[in-house]
Amino acid sequence: MLLNNRVFAITGGASGIGRAAALEAARQGADVAITDIVTREAAEPVLEAIKACGRRAVYLQGDVSAPETATRFIGVITEKLGGLDVFVSNAGICPFHAFLDLPPETLTKTVGVNLLGAYFMVQAAANQMVRQGRGGAIIAVSSISALVGGAYQTHYTPTKAGVHSLMQSSAVALGQYGIRCNSVLPGTIRTAINEDDLSNEGKAQAMVGRIPLGRLGVPEDLAGPIVFLGSPMAGYITGASLLVDGGCFVNLQ
Ligand code: RM4
Of the pLDDT bands very low, low, confident and very high (cuts 50, 70, 90), residue 208 is very high
pTM over the 0.95 mark: yes
Write down the pLDDT at residue 3: 98
Q: If you measure from the C-alpha of residue 141 to the centroid of ligand 1, how many angstroms do you get, rounded to a whole number?
A: 12
Mutate to test the pocket of ligand 1, among 142, 153, 203 (most ligand atoms within 8 A of CB): 153
Q: Name the residue with the closest Cα to ligand 1, atom 2.
A: 188
Note the pLDDT of residue 156: 98
Which pLDDT belongs to residue 70?
A: 98
Q: Which domains does the chain have, with CATH numbers?
A: 7-251 (3.40.50.720)
128-143: average pLDDT: 98
| Confidence tier at 217 by pLDDT (50, 70, 90) | very high
pLDDT for the residue numbered 146? 98
Q: State the pLDDT confidence band at 199, using cuts at 50, 70 and 90.
A: very high
Edge-to-edge strand list for the sheet holding 86-89:
57-61, 31-36, 7-11, 86-89, 136-141, 179-186, 241-244
- pLDDT mean across residues, the chain: 98
pLDDT at 201: 93
Selection from 125, 55, 131, 51 nearest residue 90 by Cα: 125
The answer to whether 142 is a known catalytic residue is no
28 CB within 6 A, ligand 1: no
Confidence (pLDDT) at 10:
99
Residue nearest to atom 6 of ligand 1 (CA): 194
Q: Tell whether the torsion through CA atoms of 227, 230, 232 and 238 is positive or negative.
A: positive
Confidence of residue 245 (pLDDT cuts 50, 70, 90): very high
How far apart are alpha carbons 181 and 230 in whole angstroms? 9
